Amino acid sequence: MPLEHSRLWPRWLFLRALGLIFLSAFYSLAFQIHGLIGERGILPAGAYLQQVRDAFGVARGVWFAPTLLWLGASDGALTAVIAAGIVCAVLLTANVWPRVTVALCTLLFLSCVAALQDFSSYQSDGMLLEAGFISCFVAPRGVRPGLGATDPPSRFAYFMLVWEWFRIYFESGLVKLLSGDPHWRDLTAMDEYYQNGPLPTWLGWYVQHFPHWYHAGTVILTLAVELVLVWLVFFPRPFRLACFAIVTALQIGIIATANYAFLNYLVLCLGVLLLDDTFLARLGLRAPAGEVVVRPRAAPWRWTEGVLLGVAFWVTITSFVAPLSVSVLAAPERALAPFRIANAYGLFAVMTEARYEIEFQGSRDGVTWIAYPFRYKPQDIDERPGIYAPYQPRFDWNLWFASLGPWEQSSWVVLAQQRLLENSPSVLRLFRSNPFASSPPALVRTVRWRYWFTDLDTKRRTGAWWRRQELGMFTGVVGTK
């Protein structure tokens, strides 16, 4: 992509936003990581890493699960990693030693993702790690570099961030068509989208009740943006700026009507890279005037950047083209897969046709069952859906995925039941409160419900946002011996 206008301010804005996104990721993990992979968590990291070591040995195990937690996976170590991540994210946001702090943020977040197991199987984690990795080469040198006018990014490094932005859109558009899901072809994909997503918002409740022609129009708009409009990023400047305006409006709409953690915030911020200093000068953000002496980069750094980003670029192609996955050409893809720095994307290839919820219930006598209240998931039909993003409640999020299949595909749910029998403090913090605070329950079960948004008339009469129907047990009853 031609760089006929300097991009100092877009880079500066993006790196500050990236720091905030890393901060949101570490902040949300600070309240969850012990319950997810702590010593008394659902999937303890220490036990997982021991299994990896037994299966692969030390060297291959570290490559399979690249995490600093190999040095220790205690609750204290988890706290240290998260605390360090928060500090580095704040420093990156404040533009302190950005090249080093973005590298540390990426390393520390990778250390969490590599150990989170079932709780890190999200495309958003790969998006953030890829953006962080590339930003190590985009960020300017120095402790307080300001705009970094003397150290502009290379064309290739800047292109790789824009390339990530482009692929998130275009590959998502392709998979919608290639999946064969009829909802995208008959323009019904958005008719129940707002109620069936992982964590709906109250704004989404209202949009859900718009007429079908509106939802059909958003399907057409989505496909047009993802498959056609995003190509304007490779066109002359006026087209690129128009592309930015349209996709930014689309992302703001998505953020308002659904909780997808930091995913849409990251895509939104990547879009800033489509701008240039000439455009931003109209908003009062002026780059240094006159000639600026650019500091040359050392040859070893240039070679390292070219090789690593070149391999990453190749992997972004082979990882999306499935037939290459079994060939020798895909060897770099297999090697880099554990690091999630060069990924294939494809959001909403198949639309969810119904909303199911898994509810944990405890009992002391097997007759009276009391539900554990969730922090973020729909449960109480009278409670308004909230807006939580960019905060990511991974436990609640994973339960949505678990509800779409048999429990055998999500055996961690049974492990969560066992932790509730123990009144594990770290797991109980994943819930809003503990209905068995005085003593643990004797039995814990999970029940599957189906949820729907109420209609406008019911909402006015009763105040209920949801209606629900019990479908039966999800897993069996787990009890103390």
For residues 134 and 40, membership in a common domain is answered with yes
**Quick one: pLDDT at residue 295?**
82
**Quick one: pLDDT at residue 5?**
62
pLDDT band per the 50, 70, 90 thresholds, residue 291: low
For residues 363 and 322, membership in a common domain is answered with no
% of the chain residues with pLDDT over 70:
97
For residues 360 and 329, membership in a common domain is answered with no
Domain count, the chain: 2
Residue 345 domain-assigned? no
Residue 348 domain-assigned? no
pLDDT at 293 over 80: no
Residue 213 domain-assigned? yes
Of 148-162, 330-344, 348-362, 399-413, the least confident: 330-344
Q: What is the CA angle 179-180-181, rounded to 5?
A: 90
For residues 201 and 236, membership in a common domain is answered with yes
pLDDT at 56 over 60: yes
Residue of 183, 180, 205, 182 lying closest to 194 (CA atoms): 205
**Quick one: pLDDT at residue 298?**
84
Residue 2 domain-assigned? no
Contacts of 315 (CB under 8 A, 6+ apart): 332, 333, 336, 342
For residues 379 and 277, membership in a common domain is answered with no
For residues 329 and 376, membership in a common domain is answered with no
Dist CA 54 CA 282 (whole Å):
60
Q: Is 356 in a helix, a strand, or coil?
A: strand
Summarize pLDDT for 296-353 with one digit per residue, the tens: 888 888 999 999 999 999 999 888 876 555 566 778 888 899 999 999 999 998 999 9
Residue 344 domain-assigned? no
Residue of 48, 25, 53, 28 lying closest to 38 (CA atoms): 48
For residues 79 and 19, membership in a common domain is answered with yes
Q: Is the peptide bond before 390 cis (omega within 30 degrees of 0)?
A: yes
Dist CA 212 CA 418 (whole Å):
45
Strand partners, 362: 370, 444
Q: Which of 339, 369, 393 is the last residue of a domain?
A: 339
- State the average pLDDT for the chain: 94
Largest CA distance in the chain: 79
Residue 3 domain-assigned? no
pLDDT band per the 50, 70, 90 thresholds, residue 3: very low
For residues 244 and 212, membership in a common domain is answered with yes
Pair of tokens at residue 65: 């699960």
- Mean pLDDT confidence for 280-309: 85
Pair of tokens at residue 256: 């308002």
For residues 272 and 361, membership in a common domain is answered with no
pLDDT band per the 50, 70, 90 thresholds, residue 4: very low
For residues 312 and 417, membership in a common domain is answered with no
* CB-based contact 169:232 (threshold 8 Å): no
| Half-sphere exposure in the Cβ direction for 80 (13 Å, CA) | 9
Contacts of 81 (CB under 8 A, 6+ apart): 68, 69, 108, 111, 112
For residues 328 and 359, membership in a common domain is answered with no
Number of Cβ within a 10 Å radius of residue 442: 15
Pair of tokens at residue 16: 């500050």
Dist CA 108 CA 132 (whole Å):
11
For residues 139 and 86, membership in a common domain is answered with yes
Residue 294 domain-assigned? yes
Q: Which domain holds residue 281?
A: 8-339
Residue 254 domain-assigned? yes
Q: Which of 290, 314, 339 is the last residue of a domain?
A: 339
**Quick one: pLDDT at residue 326?**
59
